[in-house]
Amino acid sequence: MEKFDTLVLSGGGVRGFVVLGALQYLQDTGTMDGITTYIGTSIGSVISFLLIIGYEPCDIVIRFIQFKYLSRIKPASILGLLLKGDGILRYDDFNEILTEMILLKRDNVPTLEEIEKDYRKNLICVTYNYSQKKEMSLSSETHPKINVLDALRMSCNLPFIFSHFQYEGDHYFDGFLTSNFPIHKISSTGHAIGITAEGTMCLDTDDTLDFWKIIWNLFVTPMQELQSIKNAPFLDRCKIIELDMNKYSFLDYKLSSKNMLNMYSEGFSKMLSIFNLN
């Protein structure tokens, strides 16, 4: 079976459960044994980190179901959203969940430098520095002392969904704004496998175009075109797995346990069929 040294995971909100199913197949077949570099945007960076510290993909799904993690992410203040532009969900709730999961595997919350030292693996989180108007990669090389929870927050901080976040005076937003599937971050010698469940990033239940779907697609299309241009020179060094899951909303934080399992199973089955064809 083909071997890889780099894993690239896209953003996609709760569609990450589909990615976890696909990753479980790769784990079971030993395809990920040679992975030393993990690159992710948004939830892709979170999954990458959890894999590095020792979680199996199925373990992550089990914990989210068993401990009802998604139900712990509560709506934020509507007043704060209207007056200050804060998000509609409390990121602090998600931060607490990640902290719990970290402390089950180690005694402290590591920096990016400590992750590389302790696990001999490199985590790269893609984010957008709104203050400087540029995409940034957070890694042990560029930001060795940053706390991993801050790095993940910077990569996941989707505008209007989560509240503003500053690090060293700069505002950071979700890397989705410039690169939701950051294949262009692989090294010049890397051999990568990239998994994306981003789809159209909205819930497609039919072929009609309502007002909000048009607005959303007009917002997203230029970003996807820019991403395609940036990724094009790297496609010959990355096996891309596209998991089309548009029937699931990427922001459905009330996702049922049944649907979590369905998404996980669909991801596993999709990956199985792809590799069996090759």
CATH number of the structural domain spanning residue 157: 3.40.1090.10
pLDDT for the residue numbered 203? 46
Residue 230 lies in a domain: yes
Number of structural domains (the chain) is 1
Distances from the Cα of 168 to the Cαs of 49, 77, 122, 144, in angstroms?
23, 25, 23, 14
pLDDT for the residue numbered 2? 82
List, in order, residues 6 or more apart from 156 with CB less than 8 Å away.
11, 42, 43, 45, 46, 91, 94, 162, 174
| 44-79 pLDDT, tens digit each | 999 999 999 999 999 999 999 999 999 998 887 665
6 - beta bridge partners? Answer: 37, 192
pLDDT for the residue numbered 256? 92
What's the predicted TM-score (pTM) here? 0.92
pLDDT for the residue numbered 35? 98
List active site positions. 42, 174
Of the two residues 242 and 222, the one the predictor is more confident about is 242
153, 91 in Cβ contact below 8 A? Answer: yes
H-run or E-run covering 101: helix 91-103
Q: Lowest mean pLDDT: which of 51-55, 131-135, 174-178? A: 174-178
Residue 74 lies in a domain: yes
Query: In angstroms, rounded to a whole number, what is the distance separating the alpha carbons of residues 123 and 38?
Result: 5
Q: Of 57, 23, 38, 4, give the one whose Cα is nearest residue 152.
A: 38
The pLDDT mean for the chain works out to: 89
265, 57 in Cβ contact below 8 A? Answer: no
How is residue 2 written in tokens?
């083909």
Domain extent, residue 125, equals 6-272
Query: In angstroms, rounded to a whole number, what is the distance separating the alpha carbons of residues 75 and 199?
Result: 25
Residue 54 lies in a domain: yes
Residue 251 lies in a domain: yes
pLDDT at 153 over 50: yes
DSSP string, 139-202: -TTT-TTSBHHHHHHHHH--BTTB---EETTEEEEEGGGT-SS-GGGS-TT--EEEEE--TTSS
How is residue 204 written in tokens?
């497609």
Q: How many CB atoms within 10 Å of residue 100?
A: 12
- 3-state class of 240 per DSSP? strand
Query: In angstroms, rounded to a whole number, what is the distance separating the alpha carbons of residues 105 and 22?
Result: 23
Residue 205 lies in a domain: yes
Residue 278 lies in a domain: no
Residue 1 lies in a domain: no
pLDDT at 201 over 50: no
Q: Lowest mean pLDDT: which of 26-35, 161-170, 193-202, 254-263? A: 193-202
Residue 260 lies in a domain: yes
Span 251-269, mean pLDDT? 92
